[in-house]
């Protein structure tokens, strides 16, 4: 691979980020600005960590940043539970974004 854009995980993180932004751009989720900001930031962080790790030119550093990205993915999943508990979306929205 020559570019971080070629990494399947980065591409999937981009799809997740799109889903998160769509989910958080509708009421009632949209009015919870703190949770919206946190879940959006976490989803963007997945992509950013994969890209940054790739550019470190070291397998060890790349693995470290993939771990950071994985932790951000877990953060998104945790925030999705909060959103589900607050009824900010449907069960289907939750399942689609969680998986």
What are the residue ranges of helices labelled H in the chain? 8-24, 33-55, 59-85, 91-98
| Higher local confidence (pLDDT), 95 or 45 | 45
Instruction: Decide yes or no: CATH 1.20.1440.60 for domain 4-98.
Output: yes
pLDDT of residue 89: 84
pLDDT of residue 91: 85
Neighbours of 31 (CB within 10 A): 10
pLDDT of residue 6: 96
pLDDT of residue 90: 83
Report the alpha-carbon distance of residue 12 to residue 51 in Å, rounded: 13
What pTM was estimated for this model as a whole? 0.90
């Amino acid at each position: 691979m020559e570019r971080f854009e070629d990494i399947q995980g980065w591409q999937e993180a981009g799809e997740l980020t799109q889903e998160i932004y769509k989910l958080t751009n509708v009421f009632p989720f949209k009015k919870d600005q703190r949770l919206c900001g946190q879940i959006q930031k976490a989803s963007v962080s997945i992509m950013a960590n994969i890209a940054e790790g790739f550019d470190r030119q070291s397998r060890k550093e790349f693995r470290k940043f993939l771990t950071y990205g994985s932790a951000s993915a877990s953060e998104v999943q945790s925030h999705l539970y909060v959103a589900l508990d607050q009824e900010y979306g449907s069960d289907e929205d939750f399942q689609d974004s969680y998986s």
